[in-house]
Every structure is written in structure tokens, then in C-alpha cells.
Structure 1
Amino acid sequence: MQPFTTLQAVAVPLDVANVDTDQILPARFLKKPRSAGYGNFLFHDERRRSEAYPLDAPAYAGAGILVADRNFGCGSSREGAVYALVDGGIRCVIAPSFGDIFASNAAKNGLLTVTLPEAAVAALRARLATAPGAALTVDLPAQTVTDPDGAAVSFEIDPFKKRCLVEGLDDVALTLEHAEAIAAFEARVAAEQPWRVPSIAG
């Protein structure tokens, strides 16, 4: 997956609490192949219910950061919600709190979730609403978010999650870090207990 170090991008405010994964990606689109580009379905139904949905405003075109309200990504465990955000160009979501499974899925797909105090996130959303198209800077190694005025606020993140994001390590890449040990184990089993090694009929 794409490593995440420092991101400076247009940030879009989404002043809605309890945004669930069905709002992010309606369930009927889960049968689509990932190659179809899940970004096409990001907030599909919500965007059609409102003629002024924030993500559709010209000032927020190409936004890479979403500043949301509390409990973002609650609801079902669908990983497709993260696919939709990433495919739609969103690399970071800032909110006061997240659905636990959503946050776990996000880290495994290169999407950084930043948890900040509710008042700080509300202030960011208000600042962005008064300056549409303004950019934030998210520095993961330094664990800071810098607003358009240059004021920085720190955030906490699990060290293992941070390492995976900075180095671009998904579950497959983490497993491959042990490739030599796995190969040595398989060779030892084949030599010592050959009956345990499945044979492939030719």
C-alpha cells in the first residue's frame, strides 16, 4: 500500500455525526469489483439527497482530507467503506472518534485516522467552512495537524499502526518480512516430516 508520511491537501468539512459505513458506501455496491473504482460510489446516496453536498463543491475538488464529526465509520464492518474513501482520493480522516473496525480497516489500507478533541475538530471544520479550498498539513512522523493559519496540534497514534502506515506495510507485506523464516520452516518440515507436505498430482 502507499506509504503515508506528510500530506498537504485540501480539506473538506463534513459536519455530520455518526456517519456509518452504509452512508460511506451503500451495501448494494459491495458486489462491484474493486477494479470498478469504489471512489465512484463514495457517499453515493447522500450526495444525491443533497444538491450542496460538501464533497461536490468546486472549492473542495481533489480533497485529500476529510474533517468529520464524532463516531465516523460506525455501523457494519465493511472494508469497502475504506476502499471508497481511498479510491475517492481521501488519505486522512480527522474526527473526535471512529468506529473501531473502521479504524482498523483504514490502517490496513493506507488511510490515516486522526483522533482529536471534539472542540479542536469543530474549530477545524468551522475554519474550513469560512475558507473553502484551504489545505491542512498532516505530518504522521511528527504526529501533527497544521491548520491554514499555521497553528499545529498534536495527535496520538498506536506505534505499530504508525509504522505500518509510514512504511506502507499491509498484512501481506508484514507477513513477507518473515519470508526467510517461513521458507526455512517449510524446508525443515519437508525434510523431517515429508508426509506432511501435500503432493501435487502431475
Structure 2
Amino acid sequence: MKAFTVLDGLVAPIDRANVDTDAILPKQFLKSIQRSGFGPYLFDEWRYLDPGEPGQDCSQRPRNPDFVLNQPRYQGASVLLVRENFGCGSSREHAPWALEDFGLRALIAPSFADIFCNNCMKNGLLPIVLEANVVDRLFAEVDATPGYRLHVDLATQLVTTPSGDAISFSMDPFKKHCVLNGLDDIGLALQHEEAIRRYELNRIRHEPWLFL
């Protein structure tokens, strides 16, 4: 997966609590197990005015001008500011796939659903938990400031505002190591590739009947 180290990104706000994974990526798009190609369907029922189906050319679909990610000032956003319990509902990994494919790299909220949070970090997305009052302040600043950007540094665990205010966030050390180094579960296993190879060769020598 793509490593996350430092990001200086435009912020887009979605001022809703309890956004579930069916809103992030509706169920009809779960037929594919490929990790790419879901970005056009992100928040499909909110972004578009017609029903979405897999394989549609989304460039020709009518868009909802009131939805934040369709507004010109938020085009190219890589940081999503959201409310509490973001990513609740089903455990579909397609939700972070869609967020990442759309171009988002960091999410900021007072809280995230646990499984969704873990799925994000296994796919190179950084979910950052900040106090509710801090998130309130960021919402106000984003609304008042077109082009509002945040600087996110995972190594130092700091989010820095345009005014220079540095906000610290907590992160599990092991998960931080994985995201910093772009290690998903497969990547972690492959760090022991030589030991795995030796083990398999040893099994072939001592238990050859298993490989007939």
C-alpha cells in the first residue's frame, strides 16, 4: 500500500455525524474485489441526482450542486473533515478503497467506527481523531477560508493549521509504523520472506508426502 508520511492538503468538510459505509460506497458497487476504480462512486447517492450502477460513465451523470465534494472550492481535496462515528455500519473494505481512489489521504473526526478505522490504515488512509471542540473549530475555519489547507505529519503526530497552530493526535505505535512504511498485512508477512522460504523447504524435506 502507499506509505503516508507528510501531507499538505486542501480540506473538504462533510458536516454529518454517523456517516455509514453504505453512504460512503453504496452496496451495488461491492461486486468488484479490485481495489481501484471506486472513486467515481464515492458518496454516490449524495454526489449524483440519478441512481448509480456499476460501470456507468460518471462524467455524464447529473451532479448535486449542493454536495460539498461537487463544489469548485473543494476540488482536489485530500483531507476530509467529518463528524463523530464516521464509517459506521457494515465492515466493507470497499469504503476506504473508494475514499483513497478519489484522492483522499487523511480523515479527521472526533471518532471513527473501529473496523472502518482499521481498514483505512490497511489501505494507506490516515484516520485522525481530535477532540470534538477542535473539530468544531476546524469546521468553522474551513467554512470561513476558501482554500483552507492542513499540514499533517505522521512522524511527529501533528496537524498544523494555516495560522501555525500545531494540534497533536494519538496513534497506536504499531499501526503508525505500518502506515509510515506502507505495510499492509501482506507487506508485514513479506518482511519475513526468507524465514518463510526456509520453513517451506524444511517441510518439503521432512514431510514430502504432503506435497505429492
Task: Tell me if the contact between 2:65 and 2:71 (Cα under 8 Å) persists in the aligned partners.
Answer: no
Instruction: Using the TM superposition, give the Cα deviation of residue 103 of structure 1 relative to its aligned residue in structure 2, in angstroms.
Output: 0.3
- 3-state SS of paired residue (2:151): strand
Identity %: 48
| Structure 1 portions without partners, runs of 5+ | none
One of 111, 114, 127 as aligned partner of 1:100: 114
Corresponding position: 1:122 with 2:133: no
Post-superposition offset of 1:116: 0.5
Q: How does 1:164-175 map onto structure 2 within 5 Å?
A: 164-175=178-189
* Residue 209 of structure 2: aligned partner: 195
Match of 1:26 in 2: 26
1:8-47 alignment runs, 5 A limit: 8-32=8-32, 34=34, 37-47=37-47
Q: Deviations over 1:3-48 (max 9, x none)?
A: 1000001011111000000000000011146376100000010123
Count of residues in Structure 1 that have an aligned counterpart in Structure 2: 198
Counterpart position of 1:57: 71
Q: Per-residue deviation at 1:157?
A: 0.3
Residue 5 (1) aligns with residue 5 (2): yes
Taking structure 1 as the reference length, the TM-score comes to 0.94
In 2, Cα distance between equivalents of 1:165 and 1:139: 12
Letter in 2 for 1:128: V
Matches within 5 A, 1:65-84: 65-84=79-98
User: What's the counterpart of residue 48 of structure 1?
Assistant: 48
CA distance in 1, matches of 2:36, 2:203: 42
SS of alignment partner, residue 155 of structure 2:
coil
Q: Tell me, which stretches of 5 or more residues in structure 2 are unaligned?
A: 50-63
Distance 2:32 2:65 in 1: 26
Report the aligned-residue RMSD: 1.3
Per-residue CA distance 1:58-89 (angstroms, 9 max, x = gap): 11111000010000000000000000000000
Give 1:89's aligned residue.
103
Please give the TM-score of this superposition, normalised by the length of structure 2: 0.90
> Offset at 1:168?
0.5
